[in-house]
Structure 1
Amino acid sequence: MKLLYFAWVRQKVGVGEERVSPPAEVRDVAGLMAWLATRSAGHAEAFANPRQIRAAVNQDFAGPDALVAANDEVAFFPPVTGG
């Protein structure tokens, strides 16, 4: 699975992109975020409050219950406001 991080999520995690192989029980965005929070102190800080992070799976906005699979691209970013 390819992960992309943007804005302050990227700063906290410490990388803009990584490839991971989550355990089989990770089936949705919420589970992926919970698992990622266990990977490092930076990940834990970035995913401490999942409500502050938005996700896209294969470039489509996705809620916490959106399914994820091994070959997906998942992006994480803060909420965006328009101007």
Structure 2
Amino acid sequence: MAVENKAKVAWWQQGMELFLRLSGLIGGPIIVAILVGKWLDRKYASEPWLFLLCTAVAFLFSMGALIVIGAKEFKRIESENKNKKS
């Protein structure tokens, strides 16, 4: 069943899904960090320190998620290549 569904998938679909997932992992946390950081700075009059802290945490989260997803994709690609050679 999975092989039949895989044959129907467009050649560019997996790449586009990966691109959108990775872009969301970069953009989403940064946008949230900017909004939350600016709000916290106004609330506690600590400009720009809480903004920078929120942005740094979002950056670290994004990089960690990118590393995990990248490693999973490399393993998936390697297993597909091994299956093609067999």
TM-score, normalising length: structure 1: 0.22
User: Which structure shows the higher helix fraction?
Assistant: 2
TM-score, normalising length: structure 2: 0.22
With a CA cutoff of 8 Å and minimum separation of 6, indicate the structure with the bigger relative contact order.
Answer: 1
Larger Rg: 1 or 2? 2
